[in-house]
Amino acid sequence: MNSTRSPEKVHPGIALALLTSLRDQDTPDEAIEDEAFAHSLPRRLGLNDVINVQMHRYADLKEAGRSLALSEFLDLVRLISRRPDAVEIFRRAGAALAAERFADTGALRRAVRRLSTEKARRRKLRRSMTRAARALTPGAGIETDREPPGMVIADCSLAPVGIEGNACEILTAVLDTCVAELWDPDRSARHVECVGRGDARCAWHVVARADAGGAAAERPEAGALAAG
């Protein structure tokens, strides 16, 4: 993810990761009869030929080093946010983006990084969180907190296009990996405030991983609200 782009542009790799997650979500786990598959295909957006065309287009843009209009990316986010499984799709895409970011991190490098001073690890975490937010919400006002580590976005572009904050899960998943890789594998990012849920801003706190999981389990699936 490149965080130095125009406020109206995003890296095409982000949209590609999102469509890849959508395709994987809609791909059957097991082979099914041709007739049954043909019947279910219209509901499997990720397997639509149009999606394949768009994936190739985003891949070409990525290879050429070109940008994607923010409005096009947000239209895609808006479309997916209405699915009952939107949170899972967003989180898988975020995890894939983060995995690409830390792909060259071996066990030795990870161990050395965690032996760094607390001040150094905190600085790297805040820098990495800021880069991720700038890539996914270009042009937004971003502030990071030192203690406890966290982040606030006053005008997150993801929140308004999602439903009940579900679109922000793509960023939450990226932040989760940043926290685990740069700070503490037993901690996680928790999305404590969201414009999409009626709050004045979007905010993330770093908490114990068990606490983050429990909080997520207590919140209703945002996509399910749209489906209902």
**How far is 103 from 13, CA to CA, in rounded Å?**
15
**How far is 63 from 201, CA to CA, in rounded Å?**
35
* In a shared domain, residues 133 and 166: yes
* In a shared domain, residues 56 and 166: no
* In a shared domain, residues 76 and 109: no
> How many distinct structural domains can be found in the chain?
2
* In a shared domain, residues 125 and 65: no
* In a shared domain, residues 33 and 112: no
Q: pLDDT in tens for each of the 228 residues of the chain? A: 544 446 689 999 999 999 999 999 887 655 444 444 344 434 455 456 788 889 999 999 999 999 999 999 999 999 999 999 999 999 999 999 998 887 655 555 666 566 678 788 888 999 999 999 999 999 999 999 887 789 999 999 999 999 999 999 999 999 999 998 888 889 999 999 999 999 999 999 999 987 765 444 333 333 322 322
The H or E element containing residue 69 is strand 68-69
**0.95 cut: is pTM over it?**
no
